Amino acid sequence: MRKKAKVKSKKAKIFIAIFAVMLLFSTVKAEDGYRLWLRYDALPEQNARIYRKQINSIYLNLTAGTSADVTLDELKTGLKGLLGLDIAGNSPIKNGLLIVGTPKSTKYIADLKLPLGNLSKEGFIIRSATIQNKKVTIIAANDEIGTLYGAFHFLRLLQTLQPISNLNITEKPKIKLRMLNHWDNLDGSIERGYAGKSLWKWSELPDKIDSRYRDYARANASIGINAVSLNNVNANAQILTPEYLKKVAAIANVFRPYGIKVFFSARFSAPMELGGLLTADPFDQGVKNWWKQKAAEIYLVIPNFGGFLVKANSEGQPGPRTYNRNHVDGANMLAEALASHGGIVIWRAFVYDMKPGYDRAGAAYENLQPFDGKFASNVLLQVKNGPIDFQPREPFHPLFGAMPKTNMMPELQITQEYLGFSNHLVFLADMWREVLDSDTFAKGKGSTVAKVADGTLFGSKLTGIAGVANTGTDQNWTGHDFLQANWYSFGRLAWNHEITSQQIADEWIKMTLTREPKEVALISKILLTSHNELVNYMTPLGLHHQMWGGHHYGPAPWWNTYSRDDWNPTYYNKADEKGIGFDRTKTGSNTVSQYFPAVRDEFSDLKRIPDKYLLWFQHVPWTYKMKSGKTLWEELALHYQNGVNWARQTRKDWEKLKGKIDDERFERISRKLAIQERDAIWWKDASLSYFQSLNQLPLPKGVEKPLKTLEDYKKIDLLDDFARGIGSFDENHK
């Protein structure tokens, strides 16, 4: 009897264990990617146990509906999920208390006399302290929004398993305006958007507020983004109507507790389209009055409205040059309308005019540099990171450093218009670091683009940085789970441009995918090599704008059918039987002269120019001997092959993570990596086939022969092919 009883007991235990496991899995949320890097799942118990000894309660005075309110909510949610703590507010002093507030809101912080004077409203201090002989942790700031940023930073420490026993952290943003630009249209579509429809449901607003707006605001606040421009720079004047201002105000109300100001793109011709005026001339008094009245109307509805983002006289958009005025005239007219309300104008420098013999890379400099010092103090000139248009790799824009008397902000693209859309894994922190660390030599060595952006080089009071958003209504926000890392990276670099790509990658991986050291190292390697290898299989050695016309997906180096030369890839590669590359030295367009002498001389010298910019500035013979000892043709072909090899190896590396990453995201990412490998091969084969048709040179050893003919590649639009599902996983191109 005892033996049977033991058997039954053993079976019962097994059943209970199996049931417990089944119950666990039945309650685990599907990993659809929606939570981004704010996944407050339980930490490993050994870590959680240590943290619970150091943090077990909160003291935070509240003003309902303010940033303090959302700060408490975030801390309670985070500590509940990560540590299993159920915490109310305003606990008495005891060991393990987390005290959050400002000197005005919290006596405990006021008494500590922390060095908050040098911090902005957004800065914060996190410090381990002793109060009434109790060990406590302080999150202190001058303003409630600073405490929110501090709370997110503190939770990040827990998420990434950092020690918190002896904290002494002081943080403040290096750049004042840290903005996402949405290219969302009022009809719900997104120009260059690859993750679904627009987040903004204009037909439902202002009466219905989608819960996703708050989740979006949380995500942005967690990485320090404090401004959002809601609509496309190719603007629709309707957003300025009373109907739409109410809708914008509803979004602004959600964003306000998270420290986010709302901007929108304003159409320069709005006085004609909405006001019935016969002109939009910035010198016309009626036009000036219309904008002043519109600004007053906006601020009545949206008291903390940020201002206007403007694309003018570019790619068909109206602007001051329509009336024989200049960019300063247009920007300053709008700036005057906003000035009394504290608003600013962000004027895009993406302007270029097609004319015989010109170089598009030099157009923005020619149009704007002569006006340095003439823009109003509440105008920011928004300059793309490179002189063409968000290419996989560009040298820094020559306007950086060339306008010391003008407020200037870099514009980066998070959405991947020229980088494989949301199908290709590419970690953009490396690309942005490359630009920010570039030395302009404007005031000698060390005059980096980052120092232009943060105002330290020229003493700019108004500073900013913008990223063109890659978000949409896809459940995982960005279409590709890995591309959440670029949204995250932009925010982290906007807050502190000195953070390394390695640190950003490791943080994001630990907060989003896994904390296991071996897996973190493998994923980090994939991220940190991805940008350079994508450049290899798309546009190596300084090639640029070699994408298929219109949608920019896939290779078309032969493309020359547009009436405008500067929209054709052949305009940029200049490939012929003798060589390849765009000559921007004295013997060519001489736009290299727009850089300061130290940079100009390096880029002009064929022996000194970095290989990565070679064909951007030089037209080089196919047989030219490179630093490696190989000919240019051999080096170019091997770069393409290296990119393909990386894409193949990345798929193999990812397969090693099966069972280590949740099944849902593992499978989604696996499918994307398969597409990326196919596309990488297509890029190599199509590009080398075209160039080989000109130079008639054999492929070097180690480079695989194309599997289709050049005519085949010319016939197939890779994006249409992908959309139809024909050949998407072509066995001949695996």
- Name the β-bridge partners of 61: none
634 is catalytic: no
For residues 614-638, one letter each, b for 16 or more C-beta atoms within 10 angstroms of the residue's C-beta and e for the rest, the string is: bbbbbbbebebebeeeebbbbbbbb
User: Which listed residue (184, 359, 417, 679) is catalytic?
Assistant: 417
Count of other CB atoms within 10 angstroms of residue 56: 17
The runs of H, that is alpha helices, within 498-631 are: 501-512, 517-538, 569-573, 597-604, 614-617
User: Which listed residue (144, 184, 389, 685) is catalytic?
Assistant: 389
Q: Judge residue 29's burial from the number of C-beta atoms within 10 Å of its C-beta, 0-12 exposed, 13-18 middle, 19 or more buried.
A: exposed
Nearest of 67, 68, 85 to residue 76 by alpha carbon:
85
Alpha-carbon distance 348 to 407, whole Å? 12
| DSSP-derived pairing of the beta strands 579-580 and 620-621 | antiparallel
Backbone angles phi, psi at 418, to 5 degrees: -110, 10
Alpha-carbon distance 103 to 117, whole Å? 11
For residues 78-110, one letter each, b for 16 or more C-beta atoms within 10 angstroms of the residue's C-beta and e for the rest, the string is: bbebbbebebeeebeeeebbbbbbbbebbebbe
Q: Tell me the residue length of the chain.
A: 734
Q: Are 565 and 571 in contact (CB under 8 A)?
A: yes
Q: Is the dihedral of CA 693, 539, 471, 187 positive or negative?
A: negative
Alpha-carbon distance 443 to 508, whole Å? 36
437 is catalytic: no
Nearest of 13, 59, 29, 105 to residue 475 by alpha carbon:
29
Q: Is the dihedral of CA 229, 231, 237, 240 positive or negative?
A: negative
Place of tokens 């493309």: 559
Q: Quick one: tokens of 153? A: 């930073």
| DSSP-derived pairing of the beta strands 97-101 and 134-140 | parallel
Secondary structure E strands in 612-721:
620-621
**Residue 146 to residues 102, 142, 404: CA-CA distances in angstroms?**
9, 7, 30
417 is catalytic: yes
User: Which listed residue (111, 315, 498, 711) is catalytic?
Assistant: 315
Question: Please, how many CA atoms are within 13 Å of residue 718, restricted to the half-sphere of its CB?
Answer: 26
**Interacting residues of 392 by C-beta distance below 8 A, sequence separation 6+:** 418, 419, 426, 431, 531, 534, 535, 538, 539, 544
Q: Quick one: tokens of 686? A: 């199509």
Which positions are annotated as active-site residues? 315, 389, 417
